[in-house]
């Protein structure tokens, strides 16, 4: 599966890339839960608290990141990993013992791979920083019914290319996807559509109407392109829906990227837990939409990041994904103007 997170709006190509990196870093941290849901606003002057982050998925062992808060004014940043904490997990009401700390990944793991429908609880005890606990139920995967794509080449009149001898408008290849799925009727469902092309500076974007459910009308006007998409089934309950998504390529490929093999686009439709949805939505509102820019200018109230860890900080989320891998090697090579076997040719002695 693909974990994300390229939420944010495209203000410019540079800012989009910076935001994508920031969003990805935030998203990989995702994690632990409890019955007490809170929004947390850090207090640099307060007592350090336990931070627990987990995303439980059916394709890998259960992993938890356990750290603590620290004053952001403190430099250099201290090592905040709580490697000496006790981390216990319970699955479907059955205690499964303590998780093991892995020094290379700075995380705790359990010899258990979640399955759809599992109810997972985690409890952390730190002698110095206190306790934290959380819970999630792994959602059932919603399968992609079918998908198709159309490559479209066009000239971007907002971009200028200087090759050292002349100026020209930027060319771009958009590979436009239609992804169809059927939402289970009569229940609340939450989704994340993730995707990325083979290399940067490409990018995955969507202008699908369904993403406007999380935006105000003003945001819809000024923030209409997003690379990280979360949505609920509030407008599509029980319906078959076709989602639009685009992977973009510019007419150059960094030489080191050819060593990775054939060029592919990768996308995943993730069914996500409600708490994970609220967490990701709060990250988007904090860092990725028009209001975040107003907040940075002091023109709107500060946004807070959702947490369902009690009494600590973090998120325990879970997801199940159905994925697409599309080989676009020949299409992209034709657009760039190189032989599809280019790497095989240049790597020979």
What does the H/E/C string look like for 205-264? EECCHHHHHHCCHHHHHHCCCECCEEEECCCCCCCEEEEEEEEEECCCCCHHHHHHCCCE
Cβ burial of 163 (10 Å; 0-12, 13-18, 19+) is exposed
Looking at the chain, how many residues does it have? 349
List the single range of 1-10, 150-159, 264-273 with lowest mean pLDDT. 1-10
CA distances from 65 to 59, 103, 156, 216, 336 (A): 18, 11, 42, 34, 41
Residue with tokens 């632990």: 32
Residue 158 pLDDT = 79
Give residue-wise pLDDT tens across range 249-289. Answer: 877 766 666 656 788 888 899 999 999 999 988 887 777 65
Cβ burial of 141 (10 Å; 0-12, 13-18, 19+) is middle
Q: What integer is the mean pLDDT of 293-305? A: 67
Q: Residue 170 above 60 pLDDT?
A: yes
Give residue-wise pLDDT tens across range 176-192. Answer: 999 999 999 999 999 99
Q: Residue 171 above 80 pLDDT?
A: yes
CA distances from 316 to 91, 113, 303 (A): 14, 16, 20
In the structure, what pLDDT confidence band is assigned to residue 133 with cuts at 50, 70 and 90?
A: very high
CA distances from 147 to 6, 41, 143, 232, 321 (A): 21, 41, 11, 20, 15
In the structure, what pLDDT confidence band is assigned to residue 295 with cuts at 50, 70 and 90?
A: low
Residue 239 pLDDT = 96
Q: Record the pTM.
A: 0.78
Cβ atoms of 64 and 108 closer than 8 Å = yes
Q: pLDDT: is 238 or 266 the higher one?
A: 238
Long-range Cβ contacts of 10-19 (<8 Å, 24+ apart)? 10/203, 10/205, 10/225, 10/226, 10/227, 11/293, 13/159, 13/201, 13/203, 16/203, 16/227, 17/200, 17/201, 17/203, 19/287, 19/288
Residue partners of 274: CB distance under 8 A and separation at least 6: 188, 190
C-alpha 160/C-alpha 153 separation (Å) is: 16
């Amino acid at each position: 599966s693909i974990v994300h997170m390229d939420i944010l709006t495209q203000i410019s190509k540079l800012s989009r890339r910076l935001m994508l990196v920031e969003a990805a870093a935030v998203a990989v941290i995702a994690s632990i839960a409890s019955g007490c849901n809170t929004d947390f606003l850090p207090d640099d002057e307060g007592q350090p608290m336990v931070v627990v982050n987990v995303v439980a998925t059916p394709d890998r062992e259960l992993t938890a990141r356990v750290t603590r808060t620290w004053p952001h004014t403190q430099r250099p940043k201290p090592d905040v990993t709580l490697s000496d904490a006790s981390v216990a997990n319970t699955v479907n009401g059955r205690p499964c013992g303590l998780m093991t700390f892995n020094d290379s990944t700075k995380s705790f793991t359990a010899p258990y791979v979640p399955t759809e429908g599992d109810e997972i609880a985690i409890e952390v005890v730190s002698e110095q920083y206190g306790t934290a606990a959380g819970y999630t139920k792994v959602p059932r995967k919603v399968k992609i019914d079918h998908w198709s794509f159309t490559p479209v080449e066009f000239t971007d009149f907002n971009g200028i290319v200087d090759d050292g001898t002349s100026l020209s408008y930027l060319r771009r290849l958009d590979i436009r996807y239609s992804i169809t799925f059927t939402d289970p009727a009569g229940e609340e469902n939450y989704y994340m559509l993730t995707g990325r092309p083979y290399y940067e500076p490409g990018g995955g974007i969507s202008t699908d109407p369904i993403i406007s459910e999380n935006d105000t009308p003003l945001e819809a006007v000024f923030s209409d392109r997003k690379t990280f998409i979360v949505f609920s089934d509030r407008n599509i309950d029980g319906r078959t829906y076709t989602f639009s998504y685009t992977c973009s390529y510019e007419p150059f490929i960094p030489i080191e990227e050819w060593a990775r093999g054939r060029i592919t686009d990768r996308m995943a439709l993730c069914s996500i837990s409600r708490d994970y949805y609220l967490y990701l939505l709060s990250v988007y509102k904090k860092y990725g939409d028009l209001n975040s820019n107003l907040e940075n200018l002091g023109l709107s109230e500060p946004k807070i990041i959702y947490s369902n860890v009690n009494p600590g900080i973090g998120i325990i989320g879970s997801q199940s994904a159905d994925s697409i891998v599309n080989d676009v090697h020949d299409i992209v090579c034709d657009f760039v103007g190189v032989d599809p076997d280019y790497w095989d040719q240049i790597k020979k002695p």
